[in-house]
Chain A
């Protein structure tokens, strides 16, 4: 059992959860993820990227959006409760090197959180890091203050202009790409559609771009291929070959299509668990 040390809603439907996991905290590196399961008999296994961790104190932080049955139930948990099973750290750590030029990290929605350990690691490796944070509106912005402490520059974008600049993350990304000091590398984490368009933006300028994919997973250890994506002309497993891939080689349309495999069933489950919680509250 993994005891929850802190849980709070950091924007509408997005939660910050810190829990005890000394084994995972000890060996995890930037870019890695865990698989969470709330009930070892009937619970499903869902992948979530590690947003922060502390080896000395033995805790790990996840930031997640309540979008389906499991994340919704996870969001109902309180400080002091426990998570039944957490497996990790999984996946290959992000490749962190000192680059000849600034590194631009692009985070969209709750995908900003997993950028945090990557920005920290990039800084520790001696890079200049520019962080672009995007959200639909100012209420959905997360980790802005944290990022300001670690990145050299933070650019905030909102779709509706309610905070920072108005527009998509690709606008400042494009500006940076054609500036005097273009990025040596771009890392993008967020909704697939955002990553796809970040990739399209940098492709024009031939700037190496890495994305962290978050596909459907079961075991997270390479034994089922449920998470597979087409990269270049090859089939890759996100859980063991990734989660980081060359953004310019990912078949985005296939990936987004595959993420909808169980859409109907998931909506049914989500609907059911929301109903259950309403019934519980009334009881």
Chain B
């Protein structure tokens, strides 16, 4: 765990560094050696113990000086390895060069040529596994942790544009009269909507929820991604002429075929995501106080249950919470539990810290906030209270767990956990949140004849995201399985290009 440095201290430090660099530049342009000597600009964050009880955003964003300092670390490599690491191929060295010059508007416009949601991606992308993984600066320092903070810079210029009211809408081509239906308003769907609208098509986005944004609204918490940022992006799409039909479940309210025939859509994109929560399949999982992370987070995020007294949706009041799983969703759920008043939150994960799929940064934030990690443990049963008192009976009182050790690496190179016989033990808790990932919702495939899916329910597509059904494309988690916001957007981008090509033909 790194030591906490306050935002004020970081800001003062960055100013000092900024002045030094400016002096240097006055004498001569920065050499690669000068650039390599600039320290990585840490992201200011809210004070851990305080923020753990509040819903406000944890990462506070760069100041202007921090952004320019960080941008100056970029070597402007001619071969641009970072761009290849970005699923939507943002012109990274170019936008960073614009930040170096202090031209933030040009920087954000450059990003928006390929990514319409930089304020979101800058916050939630796992950059250390994508663009920053390929960064030359990180390679020279021999750690991805020292790569240029591309994500933080992307976020900075997007926030700068929004908070300075500099947002300009992308140009929209002359109306073609062609209608495109987008099913699902998550990152994949919003990307397709934007790209098809830019091409001049009449786009309608359908979503079962009452607000657009998909996982960016119901899943990722306010403290990682403020909801007004998502709402702003949706507003921008509306200004581009995209229509939104909320409270509309395609497959039930209308089938996909009804949209294509009766409602006259010329093409459709399916971006319904992976929203079917996996459960433990162990005794006691239906006791009171066991929640899927989807339910727990939806209540808090989408339904605003944390605004007790204002929101009608309740959340489950628990003091001692166990979260099962090791991904980002598990981190989100654990940190949310703290914010909903839990005194003690533990993450139970059957492998070790090294195998955790969650981002290192999120794990670090959770740890700073006081989340306890229990590795090499896994529940085999959820235990409930047995009581004459109806208000208590059936409520969770703990889990029975086994201890594990890591066995030999499997075919994929990952070491599988092996249960240690006789290691049963109880861990008390009053709520269990299951964050074991999501499967794909079968509704749309089931109600759409001719739409092929694999045995996991993932829709089968070709290299242009086209499905087995004519006029229908798909992308994002419904194709990939639970993946990332940016991968969903990358697929959306490909699908939109293919749809636009088809509608032009």
**Which residues on A are within 8 Å of B, measured CB to CB?**
23-24, 26-27, 37, 39-45, 69-70, 84-90, 218-226, 228-230, 235, 240, 251, 254, 257-258, 260-266, 269, 272
Contacts and interface: CB of A to CB of B under 8 A. Distances in A.
Contact of A219 (B254, B281, B298): B298
B275 A44 contact: no
B351 interface: no
A43 B218 CA distance: 15
A244 to B, nearest CB: 15
A12 B323 CA distance: 44
Contacts of A42: 304, 307, 310-312
23 contacts: A23-B253, A24-B253, A26-B254, A40-B210, A42-B304, A44-B311, A86-B247, A218-B295, A218-B299, A219-B209, A219-B298, A220-B208, A221-B208, A222-B443, A224-B295, A240-B441, A254-B394, A257-B393, A261-B289, A264-B391, A265-B314, A266-B314, A269-B314
Contacts of B425: none
Contact of B390 (A41, A223, A240, A260): A260
A265 B306 CA distance: 13
Contact of B294 (A89, A223, A258): A223
B285 interface: yes
Contact of A222 (B246, B311, B441): B441
Contacts of B313: 44-45, 218
A27 B258 CA distance: 10
A248 B193 CA distance: 47
Nearest to B285: A235
A223 B294 CA distance: 7
B394 A257 contact: yes
Given A40-B210, A260-B390, 19 more contacts: A40-B211, A44-B313, A45-B210, A87-B247, A87-B253, A218-B298, A218-B299, A222-B443, A223-B277, A224-B277, A224-B292, A226-B295, A235-B279, A235-B286, A254-B394, A258-B394, A262-B316, A264-B391, A269-B312
Contact of B253 (A27, A41, A257): A27
Contact of A260 (B208, B246, B249, B288): B288
A85 B295 contact: no
A251 B309 CA distance: 34
B252 interface: yes
Interface residues of B, number: 49
A35 to B, nearest CB: 8
Contacts of A228: 279, 286
B260 to A, nearest CB: 15
Contacts of B391: 260, 263-264
B248 interface: yes
A23 B248 contact: yes
A261 B316 contact: yes
Contacts of B443: 221-222, 240
A88 B288 contact: no
Contacts of B292: 224-226
Contacts of B254: 23, 26-27
A85 B247 contact: yes
Interface in B174-219: 208-211, 218
A254 B292 CA distance: 17
B252 A90 contact: yes
A226 B298 CA distance: 10
Interface of chain A, main secondary structure: mixed
Contacts of A84: 210
B278 to A, nearest CB: 9
B394 A90 contact: no
A206 B312 CA distance: 43
B276 interface: yes
A49 to B, nearest CB: 14
Contacts of B247: 37, 85-87
A23 B249 CA distance: 11
Contacts of B316: 261-262
Contacts of A219: 208-209, 218, 298
CB-CB nearest 3 A-B residue pairs: A223-B275, A265-B314, A224-B295
B30 interface: no
A95 to B, nearest CB: 16
Nearest to A87: B247
Given A225-B292, A225-B295, A69 B286 contact: no
B303 interface: yes
Contacts of B303: 44-45, 218
Given A85-B247, A218-B295, A219-B298, A225 B277 contact: yes
Contacts of B209: 219
Interface string B1-19: 0000000000000000000
Nearest to B208: A221
Contacts of B276: 222-223
Contact of B312 (A44, A224, A230, A263): A44
A237 B1 CA distance: 41
Interface string B154-185: 00000000000000000000000000000000
A70 B313 CA distance: 10
A184 to B, nearest CB: 28
A85 B253 contact: no
A262 B390 CA distance: 13
A27 B289 CA distance: 36
B472 to A, nearest CB: 19
Given A225-B294, A266-B314, A269-B312, A85 B281 contact: no
Given A43-B312, A87-B208, A224 B294 contact: yes
Given A85-B246, A218-B298, A258 B304 contact: no
A263 B258 CA distance: 41
A89 B288 contact: no
B402 to A, nearest CB: 21
Nearest to A24: B253
Nearest to A230: B286
B307 A257 contact: no
A88 B253 contact: yes
Given A23-B254, A222-B441, A69 B312 contact: yes
A81 B207 CA distance: 24
Contacts of A44: 303, 311-314
Nearest to A254: B286
Contacts of A87: 208, 210, 247-249, 253
A258 B312 contact: no
B382 to A, nearest CB: 12
Contacts of A230: 286
Contact of A225 (B279, B304, B307): B279
Contacts of B252: 27, 88-90
A219 B255 CA distance: 19
